[in-house]
Amino acid sequence: MATRLSVNVNKIATLRNARGGSNPNVVQIAQDCERYGAQGITVHPRPDERHIRYQDVLDLKEVVKTEFNIEGYPDERYMELVLKVKPTQATLVPDPPGVLTSNAGWDTIKNELLLTELIQELQANGIRTSIFVDTNLKNVEGAAKVGSNRIELYTEPYASQFHSNKGQAIAPFVEAAKHAKKLGLDLNAGHDLDLYNLKYFAQNIADLDEVSIGHALICDSLYYGLENTIQMYLQQLAF
- The least distance separating ligand PXP from the CB of residue 153, rounded to whole angstroms, comes to 9
The pair phi, psi for residue 199, each rounded to 5°, is -60, -45
B/e letters for 157-185, b = 16+ CB within 10 Å, e = fewer, are: bbbebbeeebeebbebbeebbbbbeeeeb
- The least distance separating ligand PXP from the CB of residue 178, rounded to whole angstroms, comes to 21
CA pair distance 67, 85, nearest whole angstrom: 13
Q: Is residue 85 within 8 Å of 71, Cβ to Cβ? A: no
Of 21 and 221, the one with the shorter C-beta distance to ligand PXP is: 221
> Could you say which of 16, 46, 150, 191 contacts ligand PXP (CB under 6 A)?
191
The question of whether 191 is a catalytic residue gets the answer yes
Of 89 and 212, the one with the shorter C-beta distance to ligand PXP is: 212
Q: Report DSSP letters for 194-226, one per residue.
A: -TTTHHHHHHHSTT--EEEE-HHHHHHHHHH-H
Of 95 and 227, the one with the shorter C-beta distance to ligand PXP is: 95
The question of whether 163 is a catalytic residue gets the answer no
- The least distance separating ligand PXP from the CB of residue 212, rounded to whole angstroms, comes to 5
Length of the chain: 239
Q: Is residue 83 within 8 Å of 120, Cβ to Cβ? A: no
Binding to ligand PXP (CB under 6 A): which residues in 93-132?
A: 93, 101-102, 132
Q: Which residues bind ligand PXP (CB under 6 A)?
A: 8, 10, 44, 71, 91, 93, 101-102, 132, 152, 190-193, 212-216
Residues identified as active-site: 44, 71, 191
